[in-house]
Amino acid sequence: MALPSTKMPVVFYSMVLLIINNCIEAVSVRGDYHRTGFHFQPLKNWMNDPNGPMYYNGVYHLFYQYNPNGTVWGNIVWAHSVSKDLINWNGIEHAIYPSKPFDKFGCWSGSATIIPGKGPVILYTGVIDENNTQVQCYAEPEDPNDPLLRRWVKPDKLNPAVVDKDVNHTEFRDPTTAWWGKDGHWRMLVGSVRKRRGIAYLYRSKDFKTWVRAKHPIHSKGGTGMWECPDFYPVSVIGNVVGNPVKHVLKNSLDDTKFDYYTVGTYLEDKDRYVPDNTSVDGWGGLRYDYGNFYASKSFFDPSKNRRILWGWANECDKPIDNFRKGWAGIQAIPRTVWLDFTGRQLVQWPVEELNSLRGKEVNIDNQRLEKGDYSEVKGITAAQADVEVTFSFSSLDKAEAYDPKWVKAQDLCAQKGSKLQGGVGPFGLLTLASQNLEEFTPVFFRVFKSPNKHIVLLCSDARSSSLKSDLYKPQFAGFVDVDLAADKKISLRSLIDHSVVESFGAGGKTNILSRVYPELAVMNQAHLFVFNNGTEPIVVQNLKAWSMISADIK
Ligand code: DQQ
């Protein structure tokens, strides 16, 4: 009996110590109450652009720009995570890091291409000197049979893959996924700028080894500045089905504004030119994937579900010192399925269906009427980590405020009207990440205006009251929504609420806004969710479903 009695305390204390250590580890790794529960982020340090997303041999791969040494941009490598479902992720070895003369000063963004009969390869931007001279580089898996593609090599004989003396050598980056033309040659795009003209240069190759720039860029546009992270892909006109492409999408990340703009248009394959449709404004006034914090995005085709998936980076809006304290900076938006709207005028985006596997406890509201000034709490879920889907309806648009044609910038209109100023039809929507007495809240809401021929619908996600903390960037983001409300007098909203992010999809994903917010009071179980109406027209919450979200397994 003596043996157990002397050993027991040792075992017991070691267990206690282990638990304490694990807790300390968990607290330090988890940072603070602004860390997300189901949006992708590494365990620590800085992350920016998603790179080379792909699906290969049953595994989703996400690479991303990462600083292994700190919470600010710098020392950039391609970190690598793998997943079976796009939601739960395992971090593995860094795939690409400075190791050669052609990428000694940086391994910047790029894309993966799956070569039939060979497997995946990566094109990325290498920075070769302190002046930021950029070239395009090539990497391939060391062992293509490794199911996780852990190690990547950069064969000297294939690198650098593109050096071009005739382009702006410090603004020449972010190669796209390559595609195979009818003439049997590969093509890919590289973003650039010349005298304020944003450019997507086109390169062709017979063998994926030697790349030659085409005489004309695939597209360019004066006055738009540097085009970062171009993305170019086909979309089907037949609903959410990829396979019969008759339209193309060109997206550019405009360095000047830090938003991702796209056009829908026609790819003239014989000329290798892209022409945006006349329904797509080309440039700063154009369509955005997201009217909030969403940049340097990249899409890939997922053959396992015949869908295109879009990843985008959501930067922090707090200060570098806050990021240092948290120990991390940068998240990825929830991967979104993207397809062409039936109008052919715009894309539609929706969180990948796999996200629903994290839905836990559910609450429902049906047919709740909200008079002017009403707000009502949605109780019974974890409001700091939730998924909310709601449809609002109203019986008339007669009370819609008159639209002033001078209001061309949605963001300015949102700033002017906000959620607190009473309207006619709207503002109505959700108050997310709200403290009990509304000292803090992030409203996501619609406001409807009447112009001579149609109604104009505004979606706002307004961070101005999101935090009592004053030294933060708290923008009001907004976009117009291309819907005909006169027909069915209802509109839907989905918001993914995750501690320091509110990611919203208006009208089934036609207008989307991601806001980063840092509440001080509305945190963890002190956060609340409300529906509200501040317009004279009564609004009915026709149906609301809200779920507590389980945390994703991201390590
Ligand atoms: N981030 C990368 C560049 C890209 C920029 C560097 C966009 O390749 O142009 O980290 O955020």
Q: List pLDDT tens digits, range 309-341.
A: 999 999 999 999 999 999 999 999 999 999 999
User: Considering only CA atoms, which residue is closest to atom 7 of ligand 1?
Assistant: 296
Verify whether ligand 1 is closer than 6 Å to residue 255 (CB atom): no
Verify whether ligand 1 is closer than 6 Å to residue 108 (CB atom): yes
- 405-431: average pLDDT: 97
- 2-27: average pLDDT: 35
Is residue 175 exposed (0-12), middle (13-18) or buried (19+ Cβ within 10 Å)?
buried
For residue 281, the CA-to-ligand 1 centroid distance in Å is: 25
**Same-domain check for residues 149 and 289:** yes
24 sits in which H/E element: helix 2-30
Predicted local confidence at residue 237, as pLDDT: 85
For residue 77, the CA-to-ligand 1 centroid distance in Å is: 11
- 181-204: average pLDDT: 97
User: Considering only CA atoms, which residue is closest to atom 11 of ligand 1?
Assistant: 296
Model confidence band, residue 398 (pLDDT cutoffs 50, 70, 90): very high
Q: Please check the confidence at residue 384 and state whether its pLDDT lies above 60.
A: yes
Residue ending a domain, among 351, 373, 406, is: 351
Whether residue 183 lies in the annotated active site: no
**Same-domain check for residues 388 and 516:** yes
Q: Please check the confidence at residue 24 and state whether its pLDDT lies above 60.
A: no
For 237-344, strand residue ranges (E) read 245-254, 259-268, 273-276, 287-288, 295-302, 307-314, 328-329, 331-332, 336-340
- 76-86: average pLDDT: 98
pTM of the model: 0.93
Looking at 32, 49, 272, 412, which residue is catalytic? 49
- The residue segments making up the domain with residue 301 are 10-37+44-351
**Same-domain check for residues 384 and 242:** no
- 531-536: average pLDDT: 98
**Same-domain check for residues 345 and 421:** no
Residue ending a domain, among 330, 351, 372, is: 351
Domain count, the chain: 2
Verify whether ligand 1 is closer than 6 Å to residue 226 (CB atom): no
DSSP 41-100: --SSEEEEEEEEEEEETTEEEEEEEEETT-SSS-S-EEEEEEESSSSSBEEEEEEE-S-S
Q: Please check the confidence at residue 76 and state whether its pLDDT lies above 50.
A: yes
- Give the nearest ligand 1 atom to 76 CA: 10
Choose which residue among 45, 47, 65, 315 to substitute to test ligand 1 binding: the one with the highest number of ligand atoms within 8 A of its C-beta.
Answer: 65
Q: Please check the confidence at residue 5 and state whether its pLDDT lies above 80.
A: no
**Same-domain check for residues 376 and 287:** no
CATH at residue 456: 2.60.120.560
pLDDT in tens, 217-233: 999 999 999 999 999 99
64 in Cβ contact with 70 (< 8 Å): no
Predicted local confidence at residue 17, as pLDDT: 34
The percentage of residues in the chain with a pLDDT greater than 70, rounded to a whole number, is 93
Predicted local confidence at residue 249, as pLDDT: 98
**Same-domain check for residues 306 and 208:** yes
- 336-355: average pLDDT: 97
The helix/strand/coil state of 250 is: strand
The helix/strand/coil state of 27 is: helix
